[in-house]
Structure 1
């Protein structure tokens, strides 16, 4: 399996690469369009400030590449937020993959949220084997409100989107590479997402046939 981690100067890419190695796979760090398009799975990380990160994406042309990828793509933390239409951080226009808008936590509360928190209302095979209210590790001051594409939620003052999905694009607000066994399982599920989706479809069909 070819796995590409997008390298654009705004990601904790080495820790993600090591997490993938622990699962028995190798990943390349790349900003090359051809190499990214040729990968079976793409991981889009991000740490830092939204407007600066988008400038780096535009300088490499990756802002045009990422939305057109056809293989499974996983955005992590800021990477997930940049996949949205807009972020309040730096009044930043994002990639527009998700129609959501990124907002800042109320300044009267402790910002950023740092540490372990629960994920719940888990949907899609990305969370196969992950338990409701498992803990993951988060560091962020901005969040995506819950929306139709939300596949997991977290509560910090408000309930917000901690994972999102549309077509071949997935995003997680937390850091799976730092989230112990739950995060490791989520990364493993992403790397095997096509087979998990196919299995889920077969199981649904069998259930429907039993009902008939």
Structure 2
């Protein structure tokens, strides 16, 4: 039998821990050209996000992130992400592979490190993250990518619970090129619930990211 306290716990969890962490990466390893920018919307879900032992049913938690990215130079860019519209995270991505002399010659595997931090969960937690990304050549309509990601949140007040680091791997593929792309991704993370609302510490996070004006591009062609 489902406990009558499950909705209350789900609401508490969604507003205090985990619901607003930017799980999805939604990006390949390549950085934006200097002076350019992109806009990306990412929708994700966490199946069985609320799943206690005394309950016979589990609940799925959805999320929606929005990100702006700006190219700095040939090897780096930065982004400003709004995770689930309840915080702000700034990140910096830098390529650590040998960058070709021109964008047209960039046909090998790219590898980048992305570090960031900010505030999540309506300002109740500070957040830090580190991501390693590798992706295939980008002069193709489908670009596979993957990597590893670690996220840590730190409570900013005494009445907010602490949590362990969230760590795992992700893989996906970017479809399309130019201004409009679509990027499905699957992340598998160790994510311990400090509130005890899940039986498992392993979560699966499927997501899909839309960059640019995808619908206009489709109908234009």
TM-score w.r.t. structure 1 length?
A: 0.28
Highest relative contact order (Cα 8 Å, sep 6+), 1 or 2? 2
Q: Which has the higher strand share?
A: 2
> Larger Cα Rg: Structure 1 or Structure 2?
2
TM-score w.r.t. structure 2 length?
A: 0.28
Q: Which has the higher helix share?
A: 1
